[in-house]
Structure 1
Amino acid sequence: MPELESPLEIGGVELPNRLYRAPLLECAGEGPDAAETLAAELEPAAAAGAGLVFQGASPVRETGGRVAPSMTSLADPEFAESLSAFTDAVHDHGGRVFVQLDHGGLRSLETWHRGYRRANPDLTQLAVSEPPRPLRLADRLGFLDLDARVLSTDEVYELAADFGRCAANAAAAGYDGIHLGGANMGILQQFLSPFYNRRRDEFADGVRFFEVVHDEIRSRAGDLPVVTKVPAETEAPPFVRRRLTADDAVDLCARLDRIGYDAVVPVRVSTFWDMSIVRGRFPERAWRDERFREGYVAAFGSRWRAALVAAANRIEGVAYGFEPAWNADLARRAREAVSVPVLLEGGVRTREQIDDLLGADGAESGPVCDAVGMARPFYAEPRLPARLLDADEAEAVCENCNNCTVPQVAGAPGVCRTPEVLAERGELERRGAYERE
């Protein structure tokens, strides 16, 4: 039975332990300070002992495909090389860093962000197939701005090559591996999902796109490990009848294992960008914060649209309440079907949960996964691993309030903004809880 402090190998890269910082939006941008910003955000996790740090979603093209403001693309080789100062900083602490690659497709800023659309009128969305009817209806009602271009077969191959080129740039910049954003409604999920993919060519089977992407990465970036999220669209609304079931997700994990992927991260998601991804309470403080109101208006086009989005967010807060380790059952099933490591994230908050998931201390049910990650808790505690690795009863101070995430729509960085949580972190800092030799 592995323990949290046990090493783990992913695609030939050895991690010093089985705790990782899951991908988040860093909002580091693509300016001269990007490496410094990434280091400020992610290096503390490595310094505190995280075995692996994932850098959040990086678009594979220099323009288009962003799903949030101020994202960091590795499509430009010269810019990517400038990030080596950041990867060196992670390595100096004995950690490993993978970068997550994706393209937003129909979820891109040019679909829903009014200010971005006005500033980039020539951008169109990339689509796997004709957009589904619910999205076309939202377009007619004025909530979205669809101008989608369905990818030809040749264009799909070119998009896969972009993943390979970015992977090669990442390797040159010192990244230890690649993480594909295969869920959260990016274009990778759109290829897998029967809700989005109604193609008639070889890519009608979305796994074929993952196979071509894998081969492109291998041919351009060598043996760099490749990890991918794998979606089960179990949280989609009832009116979505064509979706990926949990059985489908487990089968996808097995097929990706056979293709040569080095690890999988099965996750329960929706077919839409909603709170099924994060779960927890309605972020009322963030919506009411006057510092972000104009940013919300710029993103959604008007005050009434922003208010409508907030109302929908409130409803989702009820529908997708917090659930501890909500991907555990899916991860257990995937682990029985694959020969590569299975990573688990989503709703993990305590050391006791981690030990149970890893099957430590002789748990009767055995291991659920091979490594455990957290995401939002790192916004509240950048040096969280120092506590989790040194205390059997440690618990993250994150309250799952989501006040850290909503302001990112307005271009704000992802940080904890809840006074009670920040006060608790401050007390832990005064007691030296984040110090580590």
Structure 2
Amino acid sequence: MPSAPGVRLDAPVEVGDVVLPNRLYRAPLLECAGNAPDAVETLVADLEPAAESGAGLVCQGATIVRAEGGCAAPGMTRVHDPDFVADLERLTDAVHSHGGKIALQLEHGGLRSMETWHHGYRRANPDLRQLAVSEPPLPLRALDRAGFLSYDAHVLTTDEVYDLAADFGRSAAYAVDAGYDLIHVAGANMGIVHQFLSPFYNRRDDEFGDGARFLELVREEIRDRAGDVPVLTKVPAETEAPPFVRRRLSAADSVRLCRRLDAAGYDGLVPVSGSVFWDMSIVRGEFPARSWRDGRFRRGYAAAFGSRWRAALVALANWVESRRYGFDPAWNADLCRRVRERVDVPVFCEGGIRDRGTVDDLLGDACDAVGMARPFYAEPRLPARLLRESESGGEDGVDSGTSVACENCNNCVVPQAAGEPGVCRTPSVLRRVGERRLAGEYDWPSESTGIDTDGDGESDA
């Protein structure tokens, strides 16, 4: 897509035949709603504030397309049941009532699932086996022998790969019936789609040895079952993998994948750089010392990792990773820029974007829309601050100095392994958010802002 400097954050953008009213989106997060009786209420409480405060697109975090297995973390929601998904119309209606659009992210964890790493879950579900693209790679088998992971992997046959793609298509169809505007395929972060794409995981000798073929099949299934709903996918580059990993996706590989997926009918692409392992390359920033030391979570950590001493070893590994993967502002921008130069569909950029000035620099250059994730744990109504025009701003009235409250400390993330919800727990951040709330910075009087909330290209003032 050609460069278009000066693209405004409040300008609409087309994704397939859906028009997003602006270019700011809430990126997928773990909402920890599960499928409990109050799951829909939890999702509405988590997601509606982003739309209510002006986000053009709200992405519901990774949901699992099968009834058993495949959850990468506690609290993930399953979307295999049409009756449950139909009830999510209450969520889509809530988002639409504020002029926003909503996407559902579809996922299966494969080798990254809880049946691999969560000791308590394995004990409660002894018959569950991980779905695998190929036999687990040697480094993962070594962790299995050491007792930190547990593999009893079932390598998918060719027919079973087709069945899995059909499950993605079925869940997409349920979502469209419930009012979701877009489908977002979780193609990175070491889920099973990533495992198909990655030469580290994929050593198949059938048609799916070409990893992109699975994503092409998923697109075909969604089109056949859900119609013309626009589909996005994350596309990984494994540039942050440790040096001993020889088989990996380079940035050039990721660009080639994006070009192929553009040709296959994907309507938007989210290029992301990371590793071949589930590590802090995904959530770069500080070591979350506060959460590891919090006595409220110790029992949950011990249940998840097998014992307190195993939990301590995981914490040590987390500290080591934090030394390698410190916070890097807008860490996917260069990859997004390379992709955007070679494809004809919108490119979405997320990862380490923390202020309005960076957002404005990225739009029309590295990407067509900008997303944030962890900052929403602290500021559910963050868009109101980022989209608001200010008398103290530049020529266009925008305050380019507006930044998020998030300190990239990751204290919101680690307790999720113990089944805790994703919320900000850092006092300095919460204090700052409270002050901003009292000052009215999260108020969003859309009728007086001039923001186009319905995507028709006209101001709604």
- TM-score range (shorter-chain normalised) is over 0.9
| 8 A Cα contact 1:380 1:415, kept in partner | yes
1:420 aligns with one of 412, 418, 428? 428
| 8 A Cα contact 1:34 1:83, kept in partner | no
Q: What is the Cα deviation at residue 9 of structure 1?
A: 0.7
CA displacement, residues 203-226 of structure 1 (integer Å, 9 cap, x when unaligned): 000111011100000000001110
Q: Distance in 1 between matches of 2:226 and 2:159?
A: 22
2:84 aligns with one of 63, 70, 79? 79
Q: Distance in 2 between matches of 1:434 and 1:389?
A: 10
Q: Distance in 2 between matches of 1:408 and 1:11?
A: 34
Q: What is the Cα deviation at residue 73 of structure 1?
A: 1.1
2:407 aligns with one of 399, 404, 413? 399
- 1:103 matched to 2:108? The reply is yes
Name 2:337's counterpart in structure 1.
Answer: 332
Q: What is the Cα deviation at residue 173 of structure 1?
A: 1.1
TM-score, length of structure 2 as denominator length: 0.93
Q: Map 1:56-95 onto structure 2 (within 5 A).
A: 56-95=61-100
CA displacement, residues 42-84 of structure 1 (integer Å, 9 cap, x when unaligned): 1000000000000000011011100011111110000111111
Name 1:184's counterpart in structure 2.
Answer: 189
Question: Partner letter of residue 148 of structure 1?
Answer: A
Name 1:362's counterpart in structure 2.
Answer: none
Question: Partner letter of residue 190 of structure 2?
Answer: M
Name 2:178's counterpart in structure 1.
Answer: 173
Q: Map 1:272-291 onto structure 2 (within 5 A).
A: 272-291=277-296
Name 1:363's counterpart in structure 2.
Answer: none
Q: Distance in 2 between matches of 1:337 and 1:276?
A: 25
- 1:386 matched to 2:384? The reply is yes
Q: Distance in 1 between matches of 2:7 and 2:17?
A: 18
- The SS at the match of 1:163 is helix
Q: What is the Cα deviation at residue 116 of structure 1?
A: 0.4
Q: Distance in 1 between matches of 2:332 and 2:260?
A: 19
Question: Partner letter of residue 378 of structure 1?
Answer: F
- The SS at the match of 1:31 is coil
Q: Distance in 1 between matches of 2:182 and 2:7?
A: 22
Question: Partner letter of residue 16 of structure 1?
Answer: P
Q: Map 1:252-267 onto structure 2 (within 5 A).
A: 252-267=257-272
Runs of 4+ with >2 A deviation? none
1:431 aligns with one of 427, 431, 439? 439
Name 2:233's counterpart in structure 1.
Answer: 228
- 1:303 matched to 2:298? The reply is no
- 1:238 matched to 2:243? The reply is yes
Q: Distance in 2 between matches of 1:86 and 1:102?
A: 19
Query: Gaps spanning 5+ residues in structure 2: where?
Result: 1-5, 390-398, 446-461
Question: Partner letter of residue 176 of structure 1?
Answer: D
Q: What is the Cα deviation at residue 146 of structure 1?
A: 0.3
Q: What is the Cα deviation at residue 285 of structure 1?
A: 0.3
Question: Partner letter of residue 345 of structure 1?
Answer: E
Q: Distance in 2 between matches of 1:2 and 1:33?
A: 40
- The SS at the match of 1:337 is coil
Q: Distance in 1 between matches of 2:363 and 2:442?
A: 23
Name 1:313's counterpart in structure 2.
Answer: 318
Q: What is the Cα deviation at residue 260 of structure 1?
A: 0.3
Q: Distance in 1 between matches of 2:405 and 2:84?
A: 36
2:375 aligns with one of 364, 374, 377? 377
Question: 388-397 or 124-133, which moves further after superposition?
Answer: 388-397
Matched residues, number: 430
CA displacement, residues 124-146 of structure 1 (integer Å, 9 cap, x when unaligned): 00000010000001001101010
Question: Partner letter of residue 248 of structure 1?
Answer: D
- The SS at the match of 2:411 is coil
Name 1:152's counterpart in structure 2.
Answer: 157
- The SS at the match of 2:59 is strand
Question: Partner letter of residue 65 of structure 1?
Answer: G
1:409 aligns with one of 417, 423, 435? 417
Q: Distance in 2 between matches of 1:43 and 1:122?
A: 38
Q: Distance in 2 between matches of 1:59 and 1:224?
A: 19
Query: Gaps spanning 5+ residues in structure 1: where?
Result: 360-366
Q: What is the Cα deviation at residue 152 of structure 1?
A: 0.3
Question: Partner letter of residue 312 of structure 2?
Answer: A
Q: Distance in 2 between matches of 1:269 and 1:226?
A: 22
Name 2:217's counterpart in structure 1.
Answer: 212
Question: Partner letter of residue 270 of structure 2?
Answer: V
TM-score, length of structure 1 as denominator length: 0.98
CA displacement, residues 99-140 of structure 1 (integer Å, 9 cap, x when unaligned): 100100000000000000011111000000010000001001
| 8 A Cα contact 1:59 1:73, kept in partner | yes
- The SS at the match of 1:369 is coil
1:292 aligns with one of 284, 294, 297? 297
Q: Distance in 1 between matches of 2:205 and 2:266?
A: 26
What RMSD, in angstroms, separates the aligned Cα atoms of the two structures?
Answer: 0.6
- The SS at the match of 2:352 is coil
CA displacement, residues 314-355 of structure 1 (integer Å, 9 cap, x when unaligned): 011110000000000000000011000000000000000000
Name 2:394's counterpart in structure 1.
Answer: none
2:351 aligns with one of 343, 346, 351? 346
